[in-house]
Amino acid sequence: MATSSTVQVSLPMPKIPRTRRTPADIAAAAPVAGQRNVLLAAPRGYCAGVDRAVIAVEKALEHYGAPVYVRKQIVHNLHVVSTLEARGAIFVEENEEVPEGALVVFSAHGVSPAVVQSAADRNLRTIDATCPLVTKVHKEAVRFAKDDYEILLIGHEGHEEVEGTYGEAPEHTQIVNNPDEADTIEVKNPDKLIWLSQTTLSVDETMETVRRLRARFPNLQDPPSDDICYATTNRQAAIKAVAPQSELVIVVGSSNSSNSVRLVEVALEYGAKAAYRVDYASEVDETWFEGVATVGVTSGASVPEVLVRDVLALLAEYGYGTVEEVTTAQEDILFSLPKEIRAKLKEAGDDSRGPGGRITKSDISS
Protein backbone atom coordinates (compact mmCIF):
# COMPACT_ATOMS: atom_id res chain seq x y z
CA MET A 1 0.00 0.00 0.00
CA ALA A 2 1.45 3.35 -1.00
CA THR A 3 2.02 5.86 1.73
CA SER A 4 2.09 9.58 1.34
CA SER A 5 4.40 11.99 3.04
CA THR A 6 4.18 15.68 3.58
CA VAL A 7 7.08 17.77 2.32
CA GLN A 8 7.49 21.13 3.99
CA VAL A 9 8.47 23.86 1.61
CA SER A 10 9.97 27.10 2.88
CA LEU A 11 8.95 30.09 0.82
CA PRO A 12 10.76 33.41 1.07
CA MET A 13 8.85 36.37 2.39
CA PRO A 14 7.64 38.54 -0.51
CA LYS A 15 9.46 41.81 -0.87
CA ILE A 16 7.32 44.78 0.08
CA PRO A 17 8.08 47.86 -2.01
CA ARG A 18 9.61 50.55 0.15
CA THR A 19 7.64 53.77 0.38
CA ARG A 20 9.93 56.62 -0.49
CA ARG A 21 9.94 59.78 1.52
CA THR A 22 8.95 62.74 -0.60
CA PRO A 23 11.32 65.53 -1.65
CA ALA A 24 9.45 67.79 0.78
CA ASP A 25 10.07 65.30 3.62
CA ILE A 26 13.79 65.22 2.86
CA ALA A 27 14.04 69.01 2.57
CA ALA A 28 12.25 69.42 5.91
CA ALA A 29 14.48 66.88 7.64
CA ALA A 30 17.69 68.67 6.70
CA PRO A 31 17.36 71.90 4.70
CA VAL A 32 20.01 72.68 2.08
CA ALA A 33 21.19 76.23 1.62
CA GLY A 34 21.63 77.19 -2.00
CA GLN A 35 21.26 75.15 -5.17
CA ARG A 36 21.34 71.36 -5.33
CA ASN A 37 23.50 70.02 -8.14
CA VAL A 38 25.11 66.91 -9.58
CA LEU A 39 28.74 66.47 -10.60
CA LEU A 40 28.80 63.76 -13.25
CA ALA A 41 32.18 62.08 -13.63
CA ALA A 42 33.60 61.42 -17.08
CA PRO A 43 34.86 59.04 -18.24
CA ARG A 44 32.46 56.51 -16.71
CA GLY A 45 30.59 53.40 -17.79
CA TYR A 46 31.40 50.99 -20.60
CA CYS A 47 35.03 50.51 -21.54
CA ALA A 48 36.17 49.12 -24.88
CA GLY A 49 36.70 45.61 -23.51
CA VAL A 50 33.19 45.44 -22.04
CA ASP A 51 31.71 46.91 -25.22
CA ARG A 52 33.47 44.24 -27.27
CA ALA A 53 32.39 41.36 -25.04
CA VAL A 54 28.72 42.36 -24.83
CA ILE A 55 28.49 42.89 -28.59
CA ALA A 56 30.14 39.49 -29.12
CA VAL A 57 27.31 37.77 -27.23
CA GLU A 58 24.65 39.87 -28.98
CA LYS A 59 26.08 39.01 -32.40
CA ALA A 60 26.43 35.33 -31.47
CA LEU A 61 22.74 35.22 -30.50
CA GLU A 62 21.82 37.03 -33.72
CA HIS A 63 23.79 34.80 -36.08
CA TYR A 64 23.97 31.42 -34.31
CA GLY A 65 20.61 31.61 -32.54
CA ALA A 66 19.74 30.81 -28.95
CA PRO A 67 20.92 29.32 -26.79
CA VAL A 68 24.43 30.71 -26.59
CA TYR A 69 26.29 29.57 -23.49
CA VAL A 70 28.58 31.98 -21.63
CA ARG A 71 31.13 30.79 -19.10
CA LYS A 72 30.81 33.04 -16.01
CA GLN A 73 29.19 36.46 -16.30
CA ILE A 74 30.26 38.01 -19.60
CA VAL A 75 30.93 41.20 -17.61
CA HIS A 76 30.24 41.92 -13.96
CA ASN A 77 26.90 43.70 -14.24
CA LEU A 78 23.50 42.32 -13.24
CA HIS A 79 21.57 44.38 -15.79
CA VAL A 80 23.76 43.30 -18.71
CA VAL A 81 23.55 39.65 -17.68
CA SER A 82 19.76 39.66 -17.20
CA THR A 83 19.25 41.48 -20.53
CA LEU A 84 21.32 38.90 -22.39
CA GLU A 85 19.55 36.05 -20.58
CA ALA A 86 16.24 37.42 -21.82
CA ARG A 87 17.61 37.17 -25.37
CA GLY A 88 18.68 33.55 -24.98
CA ALA A 89 22.13 33.55 -23.37
CA ILE A 90 22.70 30.87 -20.74
CA PHE A 91 25.34 31.66 -18.14
CA VAL A 92 27.22 28.75 -16.59
CA GLU A 93 30.02 28.42 -14.10
CA GLU A 94 32.05 25.75 -15.87
CA ASN A 95 32.36 24.13 -19.30
CA GLU A 96 30.99 20.88 -17.90
CA GLU A 97 27.54 22.51 -17.77
CA VAL A 98 27.58 23.13 -21.53
CA PRO A 99 26.21 20.35 -23.78
CA GLU A 100 28.91 18.70 -25.86
CA GLY A 101 29.41 20.40 -29.19
CA ALA A 102 27.53 23.56 -28.18
CA LEU A 103 28.75 27.16 -28.51
CA VAL A 104 30.32 28.81 -25.46
CA VAL A 105 31.64 32.34 -25.03
CA PHE A 106 34.53 32.99 -22.66
CA SER A 107 33.94 36.11 -20.58
CA ALA A 108 35.84 39.40 -20.78
CA HIS A 109 37.86 38.44 -17.68
CA GLY A 110 39.79 35.71 -19.48
CA VAL A 111 40.36 32.02 -18.83
CA SER A 112 43.29 29.76 -18.06
CA PRO A 113 44.74 27.26 -20.54
CA ALA A 114 43.06 24.50 -18.50
CA VAL A 115 39.65 25.99 -19.28
CA VAL A 116 40.48 26.20 -22.99
CA GLN A 117 41.54 22.55 -22.91
CA SER A 118 38.39 21.44 -21.10
CA ALA A 119 36.32 23.11 -23.83
CA ALA A 120 38.28 21.27 -26.48
CA ASP A 121 37.79 17.98 -24.62
CA ARG A 122 34.02 18.50 -24.84
CA ASN A 123 34.17 19.52 -28.52
CA LEU A 124 32.75 22.91 -27.66
CA ARG A 125 32.75 25.68 -30.22
CA THR A 126 34.27 28.70 -28.52
CA ILE A 127 34.28 32.47 -28.84
CA ASP A 128 36.98 34.16 -26.80
CA ALA A 129 35.68 37.54 -25.58
CA THR A 130 38.64 38.13 -23.25
CA CYS A 131 39.50 41.83 -23.07
CA PRO A 132 42.66 42.44 -25.12
CA LEU A 133 44.20 44.24 -22.13
CA VAL A 134 43.72 41.11 -20.02
CA THR A 135 45.19 39.03 -22.83
CA LYS A 136 48.24 41.30 -22.68
CA VAL A 137 48.78 40.38 -19.02
CA HIS A 138 48.38 36.67 -19.87
CA LYS A 139 51.08 36.98 -22.50
CA GLU A 140 53.36 38.74 -20.03
CA ALA A 141 52.90 35.90 -17.55
CA VAL A 142 53.78 33.30 -20.19
CA ARG A 143 56.79 35.28 -21.38
CA PHE A 144 58.32 35.86 -17.96
CA ALA A 145 57.63 32.32 -16.77
CA LYS A 146 59.43 31.04 -19.85
CA ASP A 147 62.42 33.16 -18.82
CA ASP A 148 62.21 31.60 -15.34
CA TYR A 149 61.06 34.73 -13.52
CA GLU A 150 58.99 34.49 -10.40
CA ILE A 151 55.78 36.47 -10.87
CA LEU A 152 54.07 38.38 -8.08
CA LEU A 153 50.51 38.80 -9.33
CA ILE A 154 48.81 41.68 -7.49
CA GLY A 155 45.09 41.01 -7.43
CA HIS A 156 42.17 39.51 -5.59
CA GLU A 157 42.40 35.75 -5.21
CA GLY A 158 39.24 34.11 -6.55
CA HIS A 159 38.48 36.84 -9.09
CA GLU A 160 38.00 35.31 -12.57
CA GLU A 161 40.68 37.52 -14.09
CA VAL A 162 43.25 36.52 -11.50
CA GLU A 163 42.37 32.84 -11.90
CA GLY A 164 42.93 33.11 -15.64
CA THR A 165 46.27 34.90 -15.39
CA TYR A 166 47.51 32.65 -12.59
CA GLY A 167 46.59 29.62 -14.68
CA GLU A 168 49.05 30.65 -17.41
CA ALA A 169 52.03 29.95 -15.13
CA PRO A 170 50.94 28.57 -11.73
CA GLU A 171 54.34 27.14 -10.89
CA HIS A 172 55.94 30.57 -11.31
CA THR A 173 53.23 32.76 -9.76
CA GLN A 174 52.22 33.96 -6.32
CA ILE A 175 49.17 36.14 -5.69
CA VAL A 176 49.53 39.26 -3.54
CA ASN A 177 46.07 40.37 -2.40
CA ASN A 178 46.92 43.65 -0.68
CA PRO A 179 49.77 45.83 0.63
CA ASP A 180 49.95 43.95 3.94
CA GLU A 181 50.71 40.69 2.15
CA ALA A 182 53.65 42.44 0.47
CA ASP A 183 55.27 42.58 3.90
CA THR A 184 55.19 38.82 4.46
CA ILE A 185 55.40 37.09 1.09
CA GLU A 186 58.51 34.97 0.49
CA VAL A 187 60.19 34.49 -2.88
CA LYS A 188 62.71 32.01 -4.26
CA ASN A 189 65.03 34.41 -6.06
CA PRO A 190 64.67 38.13 -5.25
CA ASP A 191 66.97 38.97 -8.17
CA LYS A 192 64.66 37.47 -10.80
CA LEU A 193 61.30 38.84 -9.82
CA ILE A 194 58.55 40.77 -11.63
CA TRP A 195 55.13 42.04 -10.64
CA LEU A 196 51.98 41.94 -12.76
CA SER A 197 48.48 42.99 -11.75
CA GLN A 198 44.77 42.51 -12.20
CA THR A 199 43.55 45.22 -14.58
CA THR A 200 40.73 46.58 -12.38
CA LEU A 201 42.50 47.40 -9.11
CA SER A 202 42.81 50.65 -7.20
CA VAL A 203 45.75 52.44 -8.76
CA ASP A 204 46.83 53.91 -5.42
CA GLU A 205 46.61 50.64 -3.52
CA THR A 206 48.49 48.77 -6.25
CA MET A 207 51.30 51.31 -6.19
CA GLU A 208 51.46 51.02 -2.39
CA THR A 209 51.73 47.24 -2.74
CA VAL A 210 54.55 47.66 -5.27
CA ARG A 211 56.31 50.17 -3.02
CA ARG A 212 56.27 47.77 -0.10
CA LEU A 213 57.38 44.87 -2.27
CA ARG A 214 60.28 46.88 -3.65
CA ALA A 215 61.35 47.90 -0.14
CA ARG A 216 61.94 44.19 0.51
CA PHE A 217 63.04 43.20 -3.01
CA PRO A 218 64.94 46.14 -4.60
CA ASN A 219 65.47 44.26 -7.87
CA LEU A 220 61.74 43.76 -8.43
CA GLN A 221 60.99 44.56 -12.08
CA ASP A 222 57.98 46.43 -13.44
CA PRO A 223 55.80 45.03 -16.23
CA PRO A 224 56.66 46.31 -19.72
CA SER A 225 53.58 48.57 -19.62
CA ASP A 226 50.85 49.38 -17.12
CA ASP A 227 48.66 46.37 -16.35
CA ILE A 228 45.86 48.40 -14.75
CA CYS A 229 43.72 49.25 -17.73
CA TYR A 230 43.17 52.75 -19.10
CA ALA A 231 39.47 52.64 -18.19
CA THR A 232 40.07 51.76 -14.54
CA THR A 233 42.70 54.48 -14.28
CA ASN A 234 40.53 57.08 -15.99
CA ARG A 235 37.42 56.35 -13.92
CA GLN A 236 39.38 56.59 -10.71
CA ALA A 237 40.97 59.86 -11.83
CA ALA A 238 37.53 61.28 -12.61
CA ILE A 239 36.07 60.39 -9.23
CA LYS A 240 39.15 61.83 -7.52
CA ALA A 241 38.23 65.16 -9.15
CA VAL A 242 34.56 64.89 -8.16
CA ALA A 243 34.83 63.50 -4.62
CA PRO A 244 36.31 66.55 -2.80
CA GLN A 245 33.38 68.67 -3.97
CA SER A 246 30.67 66.12 -3.11
CA GLU A 247 28.92 65.42 0.14
CA LEU A 248 27.54 62.24 -1.44
CA VAL A 249 28.86 60.03 -4.24
CA ILE A 250 26.72 57.40 -5.96
CA VAL A 251 28.56 54.73 -7.93
CA VAL A 252 26.45 52.66 -10.32
CA GLY A 253 27.81 49.13 -10.58
CA SER A 254 27.41 45.58 -9.32
CA SER A 255 28.85 44.18 -6.11
CA ASN A 256 31.11 41.71 -7.95
CA SER A 257 32.53 44.44 -10.18
CA SER A 258 36.00 45.08 -8.81
CA ASN A 259 36.39 48.45 -10.51
CA SER A 260 32.97 49.64 -9.25
CA VAL A 261 33.77 48.68 -5.67
CA ARG A 262 37.13 50.45 -5.97
CA LEU A 263 35.36 53.65 -7.09
CA VAL A 264 33.45 53.79 -3.80
CA GLU A 265 36.70 53.36 -1.88
CA VAL A 266 38.48 56.03 -3.93
CA ALA A 267 35.59 58.48 -3.48
CA LEU A 268 35.76 58.15 0.29
CA GLU A 269 39.55 58.35 0.32
CA TYR A 270 39.51 61.56 -1.72
CA GLY A 271 37.03 63.52 0.33
CA ALA A 272 33.44 62.44 -0.28
CA LYS A 273 31.54 62.52 3.01
CA ALA A 274 29.56 59.44 1.97
CA ALA A 275 29.69 57.05 -1.00
CA TYR A 276 27.43 54.18 -1.98
CA ARG A 277 27.25 51.62 -4.77
CA VAL A 278 23.93 50.68 -6.38
CA ASP A 279 22.91 48.46 -9.28
CA TYR A 280 19.77 50.43 -10.01
CA ALA A 281 18.24 53.79 -9.18
CA SER A 282 15.60 51.96 -7.14
CA GLU A 283 18.32 51.05 -4.64
CA VAL A 284 19.16 54.68 -3.89
CA ASP A 285 17.99 55.61 -0.39
CA GLU A 286 16.53 59.10 -0.48
CA THR A 287 17.64 59.71 3.11
CA TRP A 288 21.17 59.93 1.71
CA PHE A 289 20.14 63.34 0.32
CA GLU A 290 19.47 64.91 3.71
CA GLY A 291 21.55 68.06 4.02
CA VAL A 292 23.37 67.32 0.76
CA ALA A 293 23.88 70.09 -1.79
CA THR A 294 26.22 68.31 -4.21
CA VAL A 295 25.98 64.69 -5.37
CA GLY A 296 28.76 63.08 -7.38
CA VAL A 297 27.74 60.33 -9.82
CA THR A 298 29.83 57.82 -11.71
CA SER A 299 29.64 54.22 -12.92
CA GLY A 300 31.90 51.23 -13.28
CA ALA A 301 33.41 50.07 -16.55
CA SER A 302 30.74 47.39 -17.13
CA VAL A 303 27.71 49.66 -16.62
CA PRO A 304 25.46 50.76 -19.52
CA GLU A 305 24.70 54.47 -19.55
CA VAL A 306 20.95 53.91 -19.25
CA LEU A 307 21.42 52.96 -15.59
CA VAL A 308 23.21 56.25 -14.91
CA ARG A 309 20.40 58.17 -16.60
CA ASP A 310 17.91 56.48 -14.27
CA VAL A 311 19.90 57.70 -11.25
CA LEU A 312 20.04 61.21 -12.69
CA ALA A 313 16.27 61.14 -13.23
CA LEU A 314 15.72 60.15 -9.59
CA LEU A 315 18.07 62.90 -8.42
CA ALA A 316 16.14 65.43 -10.49
CA GLU A 317 12.96 64.42 -8.67
CA TYR A 318 14.65 65.42 -5.43
CA GLY A 319 15.79 68.78 -6.69
CA TYR A 320 19.18 67.87 -8.16
CA GLY A 321 18.33 69.01 -11.66
CA THR A 322 21.54 70.87 -12.48
CA VAL A 323 24.11 68.43 -13.89
CA GLU A 324 27.71 69.44 -14.53
CA GLU A 325 29.98 66.95 -16.23
CA VAL A 326 33.51 66.82 -14.82
CA THR A 327 35.77 65.46 -17.56
CA THR A 328 39.32 64.38 -16.80
CA ALA A 329 40.08 62.36 -19.96
CA GLN A 330 38.71 61.58 -23.41
CA GLU A 331 38.32 57.98 -24.53
CA ASP A 332 37.98 56.86 -28.13
CA ILE A 333 39.33 53.32 -27.92
CA LEU A 334 37.53 50.51 -29.74
CA PHE A 335 38.62 46.87 -29.94
CA SER A 336 37.96 44.53 -32.85
CA LEU A 337 35.38 41.87 -32.14
CA PRO A 338 36.65 38.32 -31.42
CA LYS A 339 37.98 36.65 -34.56
CA GLU A 340 35.29 33.95 -34.43
CA ILE A 341 32.54 36.62 -34.54
CA ARG A 342 34.31 38.61 -37.27
CA ALA A 343 34.45 35.50 -39.45
CA LYS A 344 30.75 34.79 -38.86
CA LEU A 345 29.77 38.38 -39.66
CA LYS A 346 31.80 38.30 -42.87
CA GLU A 347 30.16 35.04 -43.89
CA ALA A 348 26.72 36.55 -43.25
CA GLY A 349 27.52 39.84 -44.97
CA ASP A 350 26.88 41.73 -41.74
CA ASP A 351 29.00 44.88 -41.74
CA SER A 352 27.40 46.39 -38.63
CA ARG A 353 29.23 46.50 -35.35
CA GLY A 354 26.28 46.91 -33.05
CA PRO A 355 25.52 49.64 -30.54
CA GLY A 356 28.67 50.66 -28.74
CA GLY A 357 29.06 51.85 -25.21
CA ARG A 358 30.47 55.25 -25.97
CA ILE A 359 29.18 58.21 -23.96
CA THR A 360 28.32 61.26 -26.02
CA LYS A 361 27.06 64.72 -25.14
CA SER A 362 23.65 63.75 -26.54
CA ASP A 363 23.52 60.88 -24.03
CA ILE A 364 23.89 63.37 -21.18
CA SER A 365 21.36 65.87 -22.44
CA SER A 366 18.71 63.40 -23.60
Residue among 140, 161, 168, 331 flagged as catalytic: 161
Report d(CA 156, CA 178) in Å as an integer.
8
229 is in an annotated binding site: yes
- Whether 212 and 179 have beta carbons less than 8 Å apart is answered as yes
156 is in an annotated binding site: no
Report d(CA 292, CA 353) in Å as an integer.
42
| 266 phi, psi to nearest 5 deg | -65, -40
95 is in an annotated binding site: no
Q: Is 161 a catalytic residue?
A: yes
225 is in an annotated binding site: no
- Whether 221 and 194 have beta carbons less than 8 Å apart is answered as yes
259 is in an annotated binding site: yes
Contact residues for 285 (Cβ-Cβ < 8 A; gap 6+) = 276
Contact residues for 159 (Cβ-Cβ < 8 A; gap 6+) = 109, 198, 258
| 224 phi, psi to nearest 5 deg | -55, -30
109 is in an annotated binding site: yes
258 is in an annotated binding site: yes
Annotation: binding site for isopentenyl diphosphate: 76, 109, 159, 257-259, 302
Q: Which residues are known catalytic residues?
A: 161
Annotation: binding site: 47, 76, 109, 131, 159, 199, 229, 257-259, 302
Annotation: binding site for dimethylallyl diphosphate: 76, 109, 159, 257-259, 302
